[in-house]
Amino acid sequence: MILEGKKAIWNDYQKEIADDKYYYVRSCVRQNFFPGSETAFLKIMREELKKEVYEHPCHTSCTGIGYHSDIVPVETTMTVVARQFAIMTEAGYENLVPSCITSFGLYTEILDTWHHFPEVEKKIRLQLKKATGREFKKPKNLAHASDVIYKFRKEIAAKAKYKLINKKTGEPLKVVDHIGCHYAKMFPSKGVGGAEYPYVLAGMIEEWGGKIIDYPERRHCCGFGFRQYLVQANRGFSIACSKEKFESMEPFKPDMIITNCPGCPMFLDRWQYVINEMEGKRYGQNGEGIPVFTYEEVAGLVLGYDPWELGLQMHQTDCEPVLDKIGVDYSPEDKYNLEIIPSFSEKHNLINV
Amino acid sequence: MDKFGFTISAGRQIDYDSNNRRLAEYIFEKEPSFRLCIECGGCSATCTTANFTGFSLRELHILIKRGENDQVRQNLNKCMLCGKCTLVCPRGVNTRNIVVLAKNAFQKSDEYEI
Amino acid sequence: MKFDPFIIPFNIGLYFIIIYVVARSVIWFHDLSRPDKLRLQRGFFGIPFALSLKEIFMESLIHRKILKTNLRLGYMHMSLAFGWFLLIFFGTIEADIFGTKHLNAPYKAIFFRFFNPEHGRIGFEATYGFLMDLILAFILSGLLLAVIKRFYSRVVGMKKTTRLKITDRIALTSLWLIFPSRLLAESFTCGAHGTGSFLTGSLGAWLASFLPAQQIAYPFWWLYSISLGTFFILLPISRYMHIPTELFLIFMRNSGIKTGDKAGTYSEVQTYSCSSCGICIDACQLNFSAGITNIQSAYLMKAIRNNDDVSEIVDNCLMCGRCDQKCPVGIELSPIRMIQRRGGEAENDIRNIYNGYFRSRQINIPEKVISSSNYSFLQESDPQKADILYFAGCMTHLTPAIKNSMIKILEASGVKYNFIDEQGGVCCGRPLMLAGQDKEARELINYNSQMIWKSGAHTLVTSCPICYKVFKESYYLDVEVLHHTQFIKKLIDEGSVKMNFLRKKVVYHSPCDLGRGSGVYDEPTEVLNHVSRLEKSDFEDENSLCCGGSLANMKISSQKRKKIALDAATELTKNNPDILATACPLCKKTFAAVTETRVADISEIVAEALIEKPIKINSGSHANSIKELANI
Amino acid sequence: MSKHVVVIGGGVAGLEVAGQLSKAGIEVSVIEKEINTGGHLNNWYRLFPDRRDSSEVKEYLDGMTHNHGINLLTNTTIEVFKRNTSHFLITTNGGKELTADAIIIATGFDLFKSSRKEEYGYGIYDNVITSVDLEKMFRKGKIALTNQTVPETIGIIHCVGSRDEKVGNFYCSKLCCVTAVKQAIEIREFLPDSKVFCFYMDMRMGGAFYEELYREAQEKWGVNFIRGKVSEASETIENKLLIKVEDTLAGRPLKMKLDMLVLMAGMEMSEDGEKIAGIVGLKTGENRFFAATDNLIGSNRSNIDGVFYAGSCTAPMNIPETISHARAAVVEVIDYLNDGIR
């Protein structure tokens, strides 16, 4: 591996990320999958970085799941997205930050389509106007929430309580980064580092002391794939995808996986359990699984947030091995203690405090 | 396992490195013209067997070369050895001998330990 | 003198070989199938026995067939075999007449001169001695040829001579030593006693003039005896086993025993009867065109005798049958090769002398393991009813001109026929058989048989000699199987088709499976004579060449095939015929690729000559106008 | 007064044109941006199809220039280009001014920058090299991995940067297939124990003796040909290259590990050619190469009277084609100089 070559590519793929006044839109599914993540993002942005982040209660699903499952027609999707833009415009924001990778990909795709086919944009504006009476401005800056954390990775590192370093050995933790397919595969220029060698998560990990693993199946889908998972009979394909990834990363002995997509941590996490149930196979060291984190969770851990407040007890593959390696100060007995959880999140569970 | 209502799907990918290609090596050694195939498909087009069922000698050659021996074994015996393929082959591949060698190899051993 | 120790080696060898041959004969007889045993028993008391005696004399002693193909080689074999026979025959009489008593032990005749050194001075004795010297000189002349052949085979008109294994070498050396040592032993004895005729006497006198003849003679008598003894003992494990075996073979053959498709006594007797004369090597196109020199029948027989792995040899053969035709011993070489193909690869035993004498016999060739039904995908056939079936064959579909010509001829003949494989048929099964896969072939044979049976036809016409041969030999059909040349001949004879005479020079190439393989030589040439100027070639009937395209050879490269085809086509087109005619789609395709001369199947030539709508002179209808006349 | 022609580019086409014009009694100047003439020939070890040493062609071309008194300006580029009524004025980077009666553009091609096919990891993975890198190894007489061991399995990817809309090149570079076959043979010559796999989309062996070379590669050298475009390469923990390709003839995806991957970089319009197109005002085609006025009977003619093309600045060409094209340009120039019209 020639690092200079990678750096050259990373330099080629840099994007503009707004530095304040974000209009944040949540993911449909993340709050169920890893409920602490979005809350942690808001806390980091507002409390640690002192940035303005706005959320709107009328924001809806972008219909990306329906769109990618061939259920919702593209024009409908575009009109729904136009409404999101209209609400943002009404709120006086222009820096759109979706929490969901698919939303990010969809917004990017729609903006690009409108750029190349202005008549479509015109038609959608008309449809939105007819349906809701709303008008909109296109976002001035579109960045995924992980782009924003990437932008402030150094600031976070400066405030960090822990480093992604094995406390006992002093070695950096070996981290697998998994990027959601819709982040840059469709529009490589819209992702930090492009599609082949994405840097958005790698940049965070490097900054926070870890070491990124480049394994052969890094490009492979986590297995969510929408249609593959939604129909039960197809789930065999979904899990086969994840398995292929695990088998490919296993020889590198990763300590953890970091992701930036709603579906990926879900599937990489839960399928490890299912594979173990089906085949009795685990891919981590000492007969354990490989803990899977969202980038917000990792940022929260680095900043010294309580693991249980971050929602790590919601992971099916236990996170404790990583916590122990980093040397996080946590109380194992409080893992399922419901009482401590609201103390962290009640403020940020509300919109626009 | 039943409790999930699905199992882990087997991939269709040819894993070249873990496949056993002794059969191919054996045929390369005994019938060097095996190397000369340019995959034109002339053999499959004229094939007597292919007139009746799904059988492609061209594909069979590829599968032997890749070490996909199970698939080879499943299809090999459909060949009637009539020899039309040898006649139409533009590269002079001794197609019949390849089939005969593969048959012999399978008869010698199930594990293609030739 | 009645006894001398030097005769011991000879006696041991002689009694050993007599016992061995008798024992072996008993085993062979025992292993015969019951019908074959009966055939042999009946043969023993009938005409076959007389025929065999005649054949043994003509072939085993005189070597008539070799003489016919190759005079010098024939002379070599004759002088050794017939000469030796004469020597023994007249030697025994000599010992009987001139010896001390009648009915002597064999050694008395063989070493007569030693025991009767004073014999042969005058009169009748001297004349008889002259005869014996003449016979010895006859043998020695043949031996001289044999020695030269070994080192320079072209002297006897052979391009290639067989290669030898070690026991063969020792046996050969002892054989070579027998007659020179007899000559020297007799000469020295004669020299010492002043006896002997023109050869032994003169040589003996000259040798005695400067050597102590009496003392030197004795070691040569030993050498003579040892040579004989060694030769006899090595006989069963050397190629000279063919000498006693051939007698057995001739008798079996005359009794009507055939090779069949499994290894058995008869195939084993045949492999032992091969004298490695090498005529098959010279006949083989793989040898003289393609430079493949290790697979010919002589080598196959030797490899089988030696229990060697024959897999590389058996499959590399065109099965053209030229060697079968040329074999002076009449060994059914192709059927024996087919037995080996069916058998797959034999296990290679550890070789030793013991195995040579008492090896596991060829009866136990391991059967190939064949997987279950391969052709279950074939749908049950439902052919139209017809009197005559036309089965073009796989190869004919690659030569549409033949197929179209046959349709034209069939239409013109007005017969009710069904083109049974018009949309492509199932292979006849012979290619599988040629690969030794009889069981698979049987599946296809059953399928086709059913189809033929269902059609209710009485005649089956095919354009492909490969199909023809297998239809004839391996199908159980109640229809008349005809190759299209036979069918056309019939139509011509019946007057069902009329033809113009084409003013074209045609040379006919007889396809292997049709000619040598099925014995159809006459109809094709008669048809060609009927429509064209058929010219002679150097390779006709049994001596036809193979086009090189044969499906029987699994191993040969396309380049070598081409070379065979090119050589054969060059020979056949030497006199610049207009058409090189053949009767096989495979031959046609093979030749067409290598020659500028037009290559055509007989059916094409016939179709060209065909008067499609003969003007019926006596018919009631007549043309009303010139235009209509032109149309009929 | 003898006429003066300026040839831009000192590669195969440029030197051939210069030599032939000079023989015809015309004064010739060659402008070459590099220190040495010969262009891409300098990077090549042996040339297909008969695998002669490239230096033989180089010697021939050097002979052309040395024996015919050509004014060779190496290390030189064009700064200013002007046209008067009957002649052209060129100012070089050194400030030198040249007056020419006709101009021949022979700027040749650039090899596709393989790092642009990010999925193959050229410049990132240790043992991914290009066809040119391999030629350099041949010249050195040693094929080795970065850890100096000898590769056992080597993959060759055809069509890198050719027939690829994703990198903006729709056209076929035409020479990469035969280069791959030639290099596969040479690898097997150097490393008799190695296994070589060519991954191709189509084997385009159109030139004289190309198909024969292909057959030789299969028959004599046992090179394996797998039909399918490699979609991605990655490095494994053993520092091997894992490639994914569809074995289109088996109709199934295939993965395999290789020690070394050689990218058959295609041909592109040269960067300097593009600059010159701008300076001179020459038209370029959809494939970005110089556009001739007529693809059938005027492939040497440009949209400017007196400016002609020679060689692979108009389209991918092999050496015999380049030489022929250059000689054709000579005829065009002489006609032009004689008649004043083209």
Pair D151, D249 in one domain: yes
* Residue C113: inside a domain: yes
- Chain B interface, best mutation among A229, A239, A248, A271, by max B CB count within 10 A: A239
Pair D25, D39 in one domain: yes
Which residues of chain A lie closer than 8 angstroms to D236, CB-CB?
215-216, 251
Task: Check residues C157 and A215 and name the one with the higher pLDDT.
Answer: A215
What's the domain range around C398?
388-494
Per residue in D4-57, pLDDT tens? 999 999 999 999 999 999 999 999 999 999 999 999 999 999 998 888 999 999
How far is residue C431's CA from residue C441's CA, in Å, rounded to a whole number?
8
B103 to chain C, any CB pair closer than 8 A? The answer is: yes
Pair D229, D323 in one domain: no
**pLDDT, average across residues C150-169:** 69
Query: With contact defined as beta carbons under 8 Å apart, do B96 and C554 qualify?
Result: yes
* Residue C8: inside a domain: no
What is the Cα D83 distance to its own chain's centre? 30
- Chain B interface, best mutation among A278, A281, A283, A316, by max B CB count within 10 A: A278
B68 to chain D, any CB pair closer than 8 A? The answer is: yes
Pair D259, D276 in one domain: no
- Structurally, chain D folds into a number of domains equal to 2
Q: Is C300 exposed, middle or buried (0-12, 13-18, 19+ CB in 10 A)?
A: buried
Which residues of chain B lie closer than 8 angstroms to C429, CB-CB?
80
- Subunits close to C (at least 3 CB pairs below 8 A): B
Structural domains of chain B ordered from first start: 19-108 (1.10.1060.10)
What's the domain range around D22?
4-108+270-339
Please report, for the domain that includes residue D156, its CATH number: 3.50.50.60
- Binned at pLDDT 50, 70 and 90, residue B105 comes out as confident
Give the distance from residue C551's alpha carbon to the nearest chain B alpha carbon, in angstroms: 7
- Binned at pLDDT 50, 70 and 90, residue C618 comes out as very low
Per residue in A124-150, pLDDT tens? 999 999 999 999 999 999 999 999 999
Pair D121, D79 in one domain: no
| D242:A216 CB<8 A | yes
How far is residue D108's CA from residue A100's CA, in Å, rounded to a whole number?
49
How far is residue A271's CA from residue A251's CA, in Å, rounded to a whole number?
19
Give the distance from residue B2's alpha carbon to the nearest chain A alpha carbon, in angstroms: 9
- Binned at pLDDT 50, 70 and 90, residue A267 comes out as very high
**pLDDT, average across residues A266-281:** 94
Nearest CA in chain B to A242: B8
Which residues of chain B lie closer than 8 angstroms to C427, CB-CB?
48, 80-82
- Binned at pLDDT 50, 70 and 90, residue C621 comes out as very low
| A214:D234 CB<8 A | yes
Which residues of chain A lie closer than 8 angstroms to B8, CB-CB?
236, 239-240, 243, 275, 278-279
Nearest CA in chain B to A277: B1
DSSP letter at C546 equals: P
Pair C572, C438 in one domain: no
User: DSSP for D99-160?
Assistant: EESEEEE---EEE--GGGSGGGTTTTSTTEEEHHHHHHHHHHT----TTSPPPSEEEEEEEE
Last residue of a domain, one of D244, D266, D288: D266
What pLDDT score does B109 carry? 66
Task: Check residues D165 and C365 and name the one with the higher pLDDT.
Answer: D165
| B84:C555 CB<8 A | no
Nearest CA-CA partner of D61 in D30, D83, D95: D30
Residues of chain A with CATH 1.20.1050.140: 15-145
Pair D258, D278 in one domain: no
Pair C223, C125 in one domain: yes
Nearest CA-CA partner of C603 in C494, C492, C515: C492
Pair D197, D248 in one domain: yes
Pair C284, C333 in one domain: yes
* Residue C478: inside a domain: yes
C-alpha neighbours within 13 Å on the C-beta side of residue C217: 23
Q: Please, what is the average pLDDT of chain D?
A: 93
What pLDDT score does C626 carry? 44
How far is residue B45's CA from residue C583's CA, in Å, rounded to a whole number?
26
- Chain A interface, best mutation among D120, D124, D145, by max A CB count within 10 A: D124
Reported in sequence order, the residue ranges of chain A that DSSP labels E, i.e. its strands, are: 22-25, 53-54, 95-98, 141-142, 174-178, 211-213, 256-259, 292-294
What pLDDT score does C362 carry? 45
Of B4, B9, B11, the CB nearest to A274: B4
**pLDDT, average across residues D166-189:** 95
State the first-to-last Cα distance of chain D, in angstroms, to the nearest integer.
Answer: 20
- Chain A interface, best mutation among D234, D255, D258, D261, by max A CB count within 10 A: D234
| A217:D234 CB<8 A | yes
What pLDDT score does C139 carry? 94
Pair D157, D288 in one domain: no
Pair D140, D154 in one domain: yes
Question: Token pair for residue C302?
Answer: 């030797």
pTM greater than 0.90 (yes/no): no
Task: Give the type of residue at B69.
Answer: N
Nearest CA-CA partner of D178 in D37, D48, D315: D48
Last residue of a domain, one of D209, D242, D266: D266
* Residue C142: inside a domain: yes
With 90 as the cut, is the pLDDT of residue C99 above it? no
Pair C170, C216 in one domain: yes
With 50 as the cut, is the pLDDT of residue D131 above it? yes
Nearest CA in chain C to B33: C557
CA distances for D23 relative to A29, C131, D16, D60, D329, angstroms:
79, 95, 11, 14, 14
Return all residues near D1 (Cβ < 8 A) that are at least 6 apart. Answer: none
What is the Cα C564 distance to its own chain's centre? 20
CATH of domain A155-349: 3.40.50.11810
Token pair 């020939």 is found at D41
Please report, for the domain that includes residue C546, its CATH number: 3.40.50
How many other CB atoms sit within 10 Å of the CB of residue C468?
31
What pLDDT score does C614 carry? 52
With 70 as the cut, is the pLDDT of residue C392 above it? yes
| D247:B35 CB<8 A | no
The secondary structure of D194-262, three-state, reads CEEEEEECCCCCCCCCHHHHHHHHHHCCCCEEEECCEEEEEECCCCCEEEEEEECCCCEEEEEEECEEE
Pair C190, C317 in one domain: no
How many other CB atoms sit within 10 Å of the CB of residue D62?
16
Q: According to DSSP H, which parts of C99-120 are helical?
A: 106-110, 112-115
* Residue C624: inside a domain: no
Per residue in B38-82, pLDDT tens? 999 999 999 999 999 999 999 999 999 999 998 998 899 999 999
Pair C284, C232 in one domain: no
CA dihedral A290, A294, A296, A300 (to 10 degrees): -20
Nearest CA in chain D to B61: D250
Which residues of chain B lie closer than 8 angstroms to C378, CB-CB?
52
E strand or H helix that includes residue C581: strand C579-582
What pLDDT score does C627 carry? 45
Nearest CA-CA partner of C441 in C473, C401, C484, C474: C474
Pair C136, C277 in one domain: no
Question: Token pair for residue C160?
Answer: 């290639």
- Structurally, chain C folds into a number of domains equal to 4
Nearest CA in chain D to A248: D236
How many other CB atoms sit within 10 Å of the CB of residue C55?
20
Question: Token pair for residue D301?
Answer: 């003619």
Of C423, C431, C549, the CB nearest to B80: C431
CA dihedral C526, C527, C529, C534 (to 10 degrees): -100
Pair D77, D138 in one domain: no
- Binned at pLDDT 50, 70 and 90, residue A350 comes out as low
Pair D259, D133 in one domain: yes
- Dihedrals phi, psi of C587, to nearest 5 degrees: -60, -45
Which residues of chain B lie closer than 8 angstroms to D219, CB-CB?
32-33, 35-36
Nearest CA-CA partner of C172 in C249, C97, C108, C235: C235
Pair D237, D330 in one domain: no
- Chain C interface, best mutation among B80, B91, B94, B104, by max C CB count within 10 A: B80
Per residue in D192-202, pLDDT tens? 999 999 999 99
* Residue C52: inside a domain: no
Task: Give the type of residue at D313.
Answer: C
What pLDDT score does D86 carry? 80
Residues of chain A with CATH 3.40.50.11810: 155-349
CATH topology of domain A15-145: Glutathione S-transferase Yfyf (Class Pi); Chain A, domain 2 (1.20.1050)
Nearest CA in chain B to C434: B81
Nearest CA in chain A to B4: A274
| A214:D235 CB<8 A | yes
Kindly provide the ipTM of the predicted complex, given to two decimals: 0.85
